[in-house]
Structure 1
Amino acid sequence: MRSIVIGGGHSAYFVITTLREIDPKGKIIIIEFTSEKIEMLKKTFPYAEAIQQSVDRVEEYIAENRSLIDVLVSATDSDALNLRYAKHSIKNEIPMVIAVLNNPLNEPIFIKENIRCLINPYKMITSKVKEIVNKFSVNTVYEFSRINGGIYALKIEDTRILRKVQSFILKKNLPFFTISVDGKVRASSIKNIEIGDVVYVVCVDKNIRDLLEKIVEGGK
């Protein structure tokens, strides 16, 4: 696999190490804008090629090498640049284009521009805080990038929520497991779900958000 990572900051670091992990023999090219960071990147990632380009020359480089690129990840410290490079890469028919967000409030802008593979590292904060504090009705544990769906936690706060969740699982025939109040994990029938449990389900549905909202409303 031939990958290009644009950027040399914290986000790019995790992208590069992950690409190396999933394809140790793959070719990784890092594009950065400053000579200081280029030298640091060469020392940190000796298995990758670090190239210095000006901000405005990156698109030209992508266009010239588009037939050689399998994956392009735009992970600079600027969402404006990440959007710009991602759009240009899609226009040049790069097979897989990924953009990494710096500001989660910019996510709708990327979605509107049809950037389908978008990484928002801040989404995990909301999920983890809810899980640790244990105060939620519905918690998004993980959402898939290419399809509508993911892994969701539903807290059984009362009998109405219990019935709603049982009906939801039966109707969708969903795989699930529960964690009880005392922290025990159970994989059992829906009849054994109790008030106070947290139910984890895997659901793939184009209307998943509407379904989850109805479950929450049903518990009010």
Structure 2
Amino acid sequence: MNIIIFMRINKQNKCKQFLGDIISSSSSSPSAGNSSSPNTNVAGDILKGLKKVPPPVVELNENALIDPDIICERDYNTPCPNDYNYIGSIHEDDDEICAPSASYDGPCVGEELNVKDMSEKTKESWSKKCQAFWPCKKCVRNFTSFCPEKWDKVRGSIRSCKPSMLYSGPCKHQMNFSGYNARMLEEWSINCEAWWMCDHINLIGDCPDKDVPITTAATRWRLQNGYQ
């Protein structure tokens, strides 16, 4: 008896696969007129058929991708937002003025920004209004800390945290981080805009040839930035 085996992948995944004609014979004993022996290498035939099956097509949902340069913890200790230049005091009082550069084309063109005594909340609101953002904070996060900043430890839990009144991100519910590794914590951090404290500054984030730090370009960069 000949058995034809077909394998089909769900059409919704757009993966159409087919195993062609894998034949296995089953008979009690060969007759005198038929000297051929039955095929007993069924597993081998299946493996040969699998080699011909094309890999599945993977489609990425681009709307779900996150750009870490857009969603990040902003370094509000930097004097001015991106595309703004620090001018300092241009009046009689001790203002701290940032002026838009030629590269800025947001809705606040031509408007000076006085950053003196501005809170982080005020800077955040101004950034959304004028579409000019402070640079991302570049550091290595300390994921061994119990909770991210502006989140509180839940008493009696192994590693559960809840948002405090200072947190203004999108995640409003208690979170259990038990079993999370650093990669998982980093992904959650970006999605929820909740950041663990910096362990140390990432000194080589902008360094050219950081995989080969003895090149001329990398050495020049360290000299210019005072790291050598």
Same-fold call, TM cutoff 0.5:
no
Q: Which of the pair is proportionally richer in strand?
A: 1
Calculate the TM-score normalised by the size of structure 2: 0.21
Q: Which of the pair is proportionally richer in helix?
A: 1
Larger of the two Rg values belongs to structure:
2
Calculate the TM-score normalised by the size of structure 1: 0.22
